[in-house]
């Protein structure tokens, strides 16, 4: 989906982000990543915290691109649509994967425990370092900001 389509559907609005805002989102991602790595945390907890880290990182890209996700149609869903719109070549496959993770996270948060396997939680957690590096590089290239 393109920015134009997202704007027309009311899924995003044009609003520039700030370096401070992106730094705060990175701090959220780092906190969530640290929580996901805690000893003794449940598989659902590890997955949920990992998901929150990738969502915060994806939001960094959206805000650096000059957009803000709106809740219309689902804010988390829109975040991953907007991640792809920001740079389909770099983020399309990840956005698709993270959207599947969003669906699982909704299940474990609102419907039942034990929705994700240990392998799924480990896989998502394992994606974060490379995704974070991509996001930081993309933000620096797009805005000149070093976070």
Domains of the chain and any CATH numbers: 3-143 (1.20.120)
Q: Six-digit token pair at 60?
A: 């960094």
* pLDDT for the residue numbered 110: 85
Average pLDDT of the segment spanning 4-27: 97
Give the number of other CB atoms < 10 A from CB of residue 43: 18
Confidence category of residue 111, pLDDT binned at 50, 70, 90: confident
Containing 89, the helix (H) or strand (E) segment is: helix 88-110
Whether the pLDDT of residue 112 is over 90: the answer is no
- E strands in 10-76: 12-14, 67-69
CA distances from 137 to 73, 141, 146 (A): 29, 6, 9
Q: How far is CA 113 from the centre of its chain?
A: 22
Percent residues over pLDDT 90 in the chain: 92
pLDDT digits (tens, 9 = 90+) for 42-57: 999 999 999 999 999 9
């Amino acid at each position: 989906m393109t920015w134009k389509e997202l704007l027309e559907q009311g899924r995003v609005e044009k609003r520039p982000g700030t370096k401070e805002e992106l730094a705060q989102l990175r701090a959220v991602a780092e906190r969530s990543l640290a929580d996901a790595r805690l000893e003794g945390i449940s598989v659902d907890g590890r997955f949920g915290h990992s998901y929150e880290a990738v969502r915060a990182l994806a939001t960094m890209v959206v805000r650096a691109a000059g957009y803000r996700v709106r809740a219309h149609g689902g804010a988390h869903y829109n975040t991953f649509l907007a991640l792809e719109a920001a740079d389909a070549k770099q983020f399309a496959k990840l956005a698709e994967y993270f959207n599947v993770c969003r669906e699982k996270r909704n299940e474990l948060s609102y419907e039942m425990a034990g929705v994700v396997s240990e392998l799924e939680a480990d896989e998502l957690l394992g994606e974060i370092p490379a995704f974070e590096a991509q996001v930081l590089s993309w933000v620096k290239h797009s805005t000149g900001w070093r976070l």
